[in-house]
């Protein structure tokens, strides 16, 4: 067995260009990923998630069934009681359901990621020179397609049931887009959960505990002025409330109100906090 | 960045990894030279995987230093990851993708352009006899196919150093032989290989040099030849016709050679280390005179099994449990 240098082998290299010497390879290594590398790796990871979704279509069940079921259910059950009639409840409830659907759709991120991270392929991701955010941001990017389906279906069901958004097409489009942005941002909370919890079940349990107060202790289904003061205090700081109000303003009135600003600001804050936290705890898993 | 030429592919000193109070890797020094196959041999739980993971930046290094081609593992993990191809003990490919999609994915993640990644995938699938399974999902792969794909995935960027953690565990003898050929081919191609194994014959067959580790510590190092001679020049292997004669036979060997034989787990079987193969006859005559029957006898170079037994005082089997050592008496 030869323990000499690589030099003699270079000449025997048949197919490819001359093989680099170890020194050249070492000299070419980079000390970190550039932004361009990171973006490209994230997109590749998103491709992987999309492939996975296509082969496991049950991942789309929640975003298809829930808009169909919840929109009809909530509207007919609560419509009379809360707003006097179904048609007058629509402008209130459709944005509410949009936000709630977005929240439940992005909740799946944590469980999915936890399950994924326990698989062997993540060992390889860890051993490759890729940005530590790519395995997290890739799935998040691919998940946007689920939010698009959820938001689109909810609005369509509303339209079929007789909802006529006062904000017109542009306003509705704005509400739709804001819903998707909010879902993507809130998904980082669940991504973080996925990186810290020990099992997929644990993630599921904790996610539920976060999802229910966030969606129900908001103004998504009823106006907050019917609630006790202490609850109103929470409802007012709940980012979901701001999203709901913002979506209502956009869809019903076609107006860019302060709440739209607050909702977007809330999204930025959530991402700014939870994305770095997620990367940190993902790294610690190594 | 240093362009200085280091003779070593891996140089590690005093590596320590603790899990709680448990020292899984307990002060290991390691030097892997360029262009060689270095074998790390040890039983279950010896710390092989832990040690590789530390060198591959998958686990933090609690104590000690490690360099790969002169690059510090602790300080520049990102550069280390560009120099290494890691094939773990358990297949680390994506179950949801096909074989070629897997290779394409790992190529793209390492900055290979899409077209080129596709060509590389095709070439590797061909090289590893997986071209027919290229578009099958991994869930339909056999263990051997998975292992091959896993190795292929570590070679996409042609890394100068390759880690193989128990590359043939669970493979049938034929597939195992193919894997050995592949590994030899990689070295012929200029790569350096650090592999772990529980199989003594594998280390013997493949490795230029071997480190034997046990319970987180290195107990021996050298070429397979050196290790074998360290337990005597040759070994007399005896199978007594009647296991009940064992105690008597031990007495005879002690009297003739002044040394204890090494008992193997099988009843009535023992190995006697010999400095000189000619002494075998003396032992046999002694046994005949004591009236002890022998059903088989052979004089051989010692196997690595015996080396291991002599070095660690226990069998290579599952026994990291000291209580298992009771019936294993080592001649020293
Ligand atoms: N993450 C961990 N936490 C706690 N203990 C660990 C961890 N990883 C490994 N160990 C322990 O460290 C010891 C060495 O494990 P390691 O996996 O390195 O052994 P090995 O030599 O690779 O064994 P095998 O041949 O079974 O793969 C074992 O006792 C194992 O239980
Ligand atoms: Mg192991």
Q: Does B47 contact ligand 1 (Cβ within 6 A)? A: yes
Give A13 Cα–ligand 1 centroid separation in angstroms. 39
The answer as to whether A33 is a domain residue is no
The answer as to whether A132 is a domain residue is yes
What's the mean pLDDT when you consider all of chain B? 86
A9 in contact with chain B, both atoms CB, cutoff 8 A: yes
For chain A, how many structural domains are there in total?
1
- Which member of B36, B78, B97 has the closest CB to residue A1? B36
Could you tell me the CA-to-CA distances from B102 to A56, A124, A161, B95, B265 in Å, in that order?
17, 11, 45, 9, 45
Say if residues A103 and B72 touch (Cβ distance below 8 Å): no
Taking an 8 Å cut-off on Cβ atoms, the answer to whether A44 and B109 are in contact is: yes
- Tell me which architecture the domain covering B232-301 has in CATH: 2-Layer Sandwich (3.30)
pLDDT, tens digit, for every residue of B133-188? Answer: 999 988 889 888 898 999 999 999 999 999 999 998 888 888 888 889 999 999 99
- Mean pLDDT within A131-154: 94
Distance CA A273, CA A275 (A): 6
Distance CA A34, CA A56 (A): 33
Say yes or no to pLDDT of A3 above 80.
no
The answer as to whether A28 is a domain residue is no
Distance CA B233, CA B301 (A): 7
Instruction: Indicate the range of A119-133, B24-38, B292-306 predicted with least confidence.
Output: B292-306
- Which member of B71, B79, B96 has the closest CB to residue A52? B96
Taking an 8 Å cut-off on Cβ atoms, the answer to whether A124 and B35 are in contact is: no
Could you tell me the CA-to-CA distances from B60 to B22, B28, B63, B154, B267 in Å, in that order?
15, 15, 9, 21, 45
- Mean pLDDT within B267-291: 86
Give chain A positions within 8 Å (CB) of B208: 1, 3
Q: In the structure, what pLDDT confidence band is assigned to residue B315 with cuts at 50, 70 and 90?
A: low
For the full predicted model, state whether its pTM sits above 0.90.
no
The answer as to whether A152 is a domain residue is yes
- Which member of B36, B92, B106 has the closest CB to residue A120? B92
Distance CA B20, CA B255 (A): 48
Give me the interface pTM, i.e. the ipTM. 0.84
pLDDT of res. B187: 92
Say if residues B261 and B247 touch (Cβ distance below 8 Å): no
Taking an 8 Å cut-off on Cβ atoms, the answer to whether A120 and B187 are in contact is: no
CATH number of B8-227+320-331: 3.40.50.300
Give chain A positions within 8 Å (CB) of B3: 23, 26-27
Determine the structural domain holding residue A83 and report its residue range.
57-284
Give chain B positions within 8 Å (CB) of A115: none
Distance CA A101, CA A71 (A): 10
Say yes or no to pLDDT of B324 above 80.
no
Report strand pairing: B209-214 vs B37-41. Answer: parallel
Domain limits, CATH 3.40.50.300, in chain B: 8-227+320-331
- Mean pLDDT within A96-101: 90
Domain limits, CATH 3.30.70.260, in chain B: 232-301
């Amino acid at each position: 067995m030869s323990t000499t240098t690589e030099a003699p082998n270079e000449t025997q290299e048949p197919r490819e260009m001359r093989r680099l010497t170890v020194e050249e390879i070492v000299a070419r290594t980079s000390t970190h990923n550039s932004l361009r590398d990171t973006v490209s790796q994230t997109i590749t990871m998103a491709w992987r998630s999309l492939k996975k979704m296509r082969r496991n279509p049950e991942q789309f069940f929640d975003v298809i069934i829930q808009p169909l079921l919840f929109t009809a259910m909530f509207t007919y059950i609560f419509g009379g009681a809360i707003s006097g009639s179904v048609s007058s409840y629509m402008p209130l409830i459709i944005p509410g359901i949009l936000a709630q659907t977005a929240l439940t759709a992005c909740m799946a991120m944590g469980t999915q990621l936890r399950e994924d991270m326990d698989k062997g392929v993540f060992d390889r991701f860890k051993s490759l020179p890729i940005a530590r955010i790519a395995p997290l941001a890739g799935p998040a990017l691919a998940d946007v397609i689920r939010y698009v389906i959820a938001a689109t279906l909810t609005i369509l069901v509303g339209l079929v049931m007789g909802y006529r958004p006062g904000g017109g097409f542009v306003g509705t489009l704005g509400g739709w887009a804001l819903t998707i942005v909010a879902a993507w941002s809130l998904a980082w909370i669940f991504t973080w959960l996925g990186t810290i919890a020990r099992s997929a079940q644990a993630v599921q349990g904790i996610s539920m505990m976060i999802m229910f107060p966030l969606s129900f202790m908001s103004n998504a289904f009823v106006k907050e002025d019917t609630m006790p003061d202490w609850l109103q205090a929470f409802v007012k700081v709940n980012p979901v409330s701001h999203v709901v109000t913002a979506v209502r303003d956009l869809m019903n009135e076609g107006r860019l109100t302060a709440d739209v600003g607050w909702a977007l600001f809330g999204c930025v804050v959530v991402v700014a906090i939870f994305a770095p936290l997620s990367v940190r705890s993902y790294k610690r898993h190594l | 960045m240093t362009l200085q030429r280091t003779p070593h592919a891996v140089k590690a000193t005093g590596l320590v990894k603790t899990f709680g109070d448990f020292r899984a890797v307990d002060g290991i020094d390691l030097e892997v030279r360029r262009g060689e196959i270095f074998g790390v041999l040890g039983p279950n739980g010896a710390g092989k995987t832990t040690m590789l993971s530390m060198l591959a930046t998958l686990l933090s290094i609690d104590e000690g230093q490690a360099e790969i081609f002169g690059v510090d593992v602790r300080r520049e993990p990102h550069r280390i990851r560009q120099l290494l191809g890691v094939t773990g003990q358990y297949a680390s490919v994506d179950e949801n993708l096909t074989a070629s999609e897997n290779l394409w994915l790992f190529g793209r993640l390492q900055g290979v352009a899409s077209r080129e990644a596709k060509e590389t995938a095709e070439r590797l699938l061909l090289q590893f006899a997986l071209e027919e399974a290229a578009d099958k999902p991994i869930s339909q792969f056999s263990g051997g196919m998975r292992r091959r794909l896993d190795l292929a995935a570590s070679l996409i960027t042609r890394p100068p150093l390759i880690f193989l953690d128990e590359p043939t565990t669970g493979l049938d003898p034929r597939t195992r032989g193919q894997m050995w050929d592949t590994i030899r081919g990689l070295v012929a191609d200029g790569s350096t290989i650090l592999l772990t194994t529980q199989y003594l014959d594998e280390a013997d067959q493949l490795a230029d040099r071997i480190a034997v580790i046990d319970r987180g510590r290195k107990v021996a190092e050298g070429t397979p030849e050196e290790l074998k001679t360290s337990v005597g020049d040759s070994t007399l292997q005896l199978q007594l016709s009647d296991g009940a004669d064992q105690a008597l036979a031990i007495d005879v060997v002690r009297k003739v050679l002044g040394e204890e034989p090494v008992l193997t787990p099988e009843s009535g079987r023992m190995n006697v280390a010999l400095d000189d193969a000619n002494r075998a006859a003396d032992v046999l005559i002694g046994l005949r005179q004591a009236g002890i029957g022998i059903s088989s006898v052979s004089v051989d170079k010692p196997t690595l099994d015996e080396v291991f037994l002599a070095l660690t005082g226990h069998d290579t089997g599952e026994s990291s449990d000291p209580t298992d050592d009771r019936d294993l008496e080592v001649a020293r």
